[in-house]
Amino acid sequence: MIRHMPHEDHGPAHGWDLHCHTVYSDGTKTPAEMIASAVASGLHGLAITDHDTTAGWADAAAAARRAGLPILRGTEITAADGDISVHMLAYQYDPDNTAITELFRATRAARLERAKRMVARLSEDFPIDWHSVLRQAKQGEKTTVGRPHMADALVEAGVYATRSEAFAGVISGASKYYIPTPSPSTDEVVRTVREAGGVSVIAHPGDRGRNTTLLGDGRIRALAGEGLGGLEVWHRGNADDQRRRLLGLADELGLLVTGGSDWHGAGKPNRLGENLTGDATVREIVARGAIEVVG
Ligand SMILES: [Zn+2]
Ligand SMILES: [Zn+2]
């Protein structure tokens, strides 16, 4: 078991960046560009963690082998814990495991259904329909149709001048047309990732910028009992008081402590490697995981 010093409030100076997005979700760089940046900045390795998909894993693995940089393969899964939206990082699981492929399939189907219902509500009062919304999804089949596409259809129809005006208007979370995005529960994600041989880590658990209500100690203890692997303590969204709280919980519950930049390329100010995970913790994730490190 890895022990953590309770007074420690900064992540390791060297190590791995275990939270990185590419063009396979909402990042702006390809896996190969990400890996080249990681090599240039002297990272020991990184994890690809695009939202709700393994679509970038093959590209990332090929680039890692070419560059000789080891990588973990992972996914940032959007989950729900009651009314709280929780991001969960899942590492080194078997992508062909039926429990996890079914979880992703059911989530995609529920989100598609939600998008159709929300567009149906909007189409009663605005000149858009499912076809005009679908037309905005430039990546076709691979895209999860959502509010950005509804916004673009409203702009195309002349209802708004820009996408952000639409987001502030009839597709905002406060609008009567809005329907929340369906997500699997945190318990379901922890159980399913464990079943698929992977390690689950709660991403940025102390980020008040994302959630006015944070996941409480009691829920973190319950998830630890169900097989949660760790907490992402070293993340720019966690304030110092939250880092201390999370380190205390990790120590009490024997959870791994990870760090990551939440890099999105040019899409966000986060710098690759600005927060890191220590080598010993990465070795532990690999030892527990179902798949090999590549690179
Ligand atoms: Zn996140
Ligand atoms: Zn992220």
As a whole number of angstroms, the distance between CA 59 and CA 32 comes to 7
CA trace torsion 34, 38, 40, 41 (10° rounding): 130
Ligand (nearest to CA of 27): 2
* Digit-coded pLDDT (tens) for 223-276: 999 999 999 999 999 999 999 999 999 999 999 999 999 999 988 899 999 999
* Nearest ligand to the CA atom of 261: 2
Q: Are the beta carbons of 220 and 195 closer than 8 angstroms? A: no
Q: Residues of 129-160 as b/e, b for ≥16 C-beta within 10 angstroms?
A: eeebbbebbeeeeeebbbbbbbbbbbbeeebb
How far is Cα 202 from Cα 47, in angstroms, rounded to an integer?
15
Residue 6: per-residue pLDDT: 47
CB 57 within 8 A of CB 27: no
Give the pLDDT of residue 67: 97
Specify the amino acid at residue 269: P
The rounded Å distance from CA 177 to ligand 2 centre is 27
- How is residue 48 written in tokens? 């690809």
Where the chain has pLDDT below 70, the residues are: 1-9, 139-143
DSSP annotation of 209 reads: T
CA 123 – ligand 2 centroid, Å: 32
- Helix H segments across 141-195? 147-156, 163-168, 186-195
Q: Is the dihedral of CA 223, 225, 228, 231 positive or negative?
A: positive
Centre of ligand 1 from the C-alpha of residue 129, in Å: 31
pTM to 2 decimal places: 0.90
**Partner residues linked to 277 by β-bridges:** 16
CA nearest 133: which of 114, 120, 149?
149
Ligand 2 mean position, distance from CA 228 (Å): 18
Model confidence over 151-183: pLDDT tens digits?
Answer: 999 999 999 999 999 999 999 999 999 999 999
Which of 111, 117, 107, 152 is closest to 133 using CA atoms? 152
